[in-house]
Structure 1
């Protein structure tokens, strides 16, 4: 899966590196595709790591990575080149020793991580996953609200995705993607009590049959108030 969309990840990599450098606290939640490079870079300052994934195959990918049964990804190789191979290896080993909790996100539930009770997070990272699990604009707003409910007031939220994406092909399978623009993202975040600090967009300049989109975006935001979540 990751190799098919790795160039999209690379395109947003420097933006992520810039903003996540400010993240710190006790509890970190990552809800993304199977990619783990963001964990390798920025979880040293956190003791409690929660990895959320929306599919069984993504969970298996993370478990293989934890057990060292999976080779370093393209994105991980970039991380190693950026921070230095020895520092990257130290970061990865430190992360594995923290024994992150891997949790299934069930889109059909009002409480998508039930029965697991996650600690309120100091930082939440969400990369590309909303593009795939949100079938309608209402789903998108609902998912943002559910994610925001896991975050403490005054804490950081980092969101990365594709604007006006029409299709993604993963492992030869064409997947339905919800096309949306930056205005919809801003409205959903505001309704969920999230204030945008920075909103960066990078125009697509890659011609590919695998994925078609207008921009990759990265948002650095902060939660300013609690909003009642949708009940089950």
Structure 2
């Protein structure tokens, strides 16, 4: 299907709560082991290993998702959350402010606490994550500029799940956006990037949304071209076939920034 016939991340049909319920937030989702359990396990292992350190973390992830921050809150005193649309920011804030119609993330909190050996303390974990979040930021005009310095301090880690290939319409735009959204990362800081490999779409309700198809080698090349050395790589081949999403596999890259932003 041509990209012109698909919806895009900025379209009003994008419903972040429905995205959560379709792909991420509960155990009845057919690909929950791949979309959620796999990344939270990898993140748990990374943060527990001591390989990722620092005080400040910037999260740039799809929709109003929360699950990527659960283990991060064990290591980072300050978490900044950035998104590109008002609807996603507003939905994230509903969870942050414990509003009635927020996404219920209890299933994933319990899974993370199970990895940590405290499966009965998931509510404490949820409060820990909320306390660590210092600011929710909208990246205005991201296609033409880097994040404004006054909106965000220099950070020690940037974490991103399933986002850049959803907001970038071409490979050139993807590489440019990667350089821009990591500009707030200090030299020596680390990037944790989760990307789907050779994915073209995902479903939110009855709507099919565009994802820029990217090969594994291209993702790795984009990371190194943005001024990073890759330290660790993990890949999970797709095992479950479902009509809500298509991809060949899921890729996680841990990389260290070696230079100032090469924009």
Per the normalisation by structure 1, the TM-score is 0.89
Residue of structure 2 equivalent to 1:3 = 21
- Does 1:39 pair with 2:69? yes
Per the normalisation by structure 2, the TM-score is 0.80
Q: List alignment gaps of at least 5 residues for structure 2.
A: 1-18, 25-31
Deviates more, 1:159-168 or 1:2-11: 2-11
Deviates more, 1:7-16 or 1:33-42: 7-16
Superposition deviation, residue 68 in structure 1: 1.5
Superposition deviation, residue 39 in structure 1: 1.5
Superposition deviation, residue 88 in structure 1: 3.4
Deviates more, 1:219-228 or 1:101-110: 101-110
Residue of structure 1 equivalent to 2:54 = 25
Superposition deviation, residue 224 in structure 1: 1.1
Change (3 A) 1:4 1:107: farther
Superposition deviation, residue 211 in structure 1: 0.2
Matched residue of 2:208: which SS?
strand
| 1:207-222 correspondence runs (5 A) | 207-222=241-256
Report the number of matched residues: 229
Q: Deviations over 1:119-142 (max 9, x none)?
A: 111011000011211110011101
CA distance in 2, matches of 1:117, 1:108: 13
CA distance in 2, matches of 1:152, 1:78: 32
- Does 1:162 pair with 2:196? yes
CA distance in 2, matches of 1:186, 1:86: 38
Change (3 A) 1:151 1:115: closer
Deviates more, 1:107-116 or 1:83-92: 107-116
Superposition deviation, residue 219 in structure 1: 0.7
Matched residue of 2:212: which SS?
coil
Change (3 A) 1:135 1:183: same
- Does 1:82 pair with 2:115? yes
Superposition deviation, residue 4 in structure 1: 1.6
CA-atom RMSD in angstroms = 2.0
Residue of structure 1 equivalent to 2:39 = 12
Q: Deviations over 1:86-125 (max 9, x none)?
A: 5433332133234520011235443354485211110110
Matched residue of 1:46: which SS?
coil
Q: Deviations over 1:148-199 (max 9, x none)?
A: 2111111111000100002111122101111011111111111111111111
Change (3 A) 1:107 1:186: farther
- Does 1:120 pair with 2:154? yes
Residue of structure 2 equivalent to 1:132 = 166
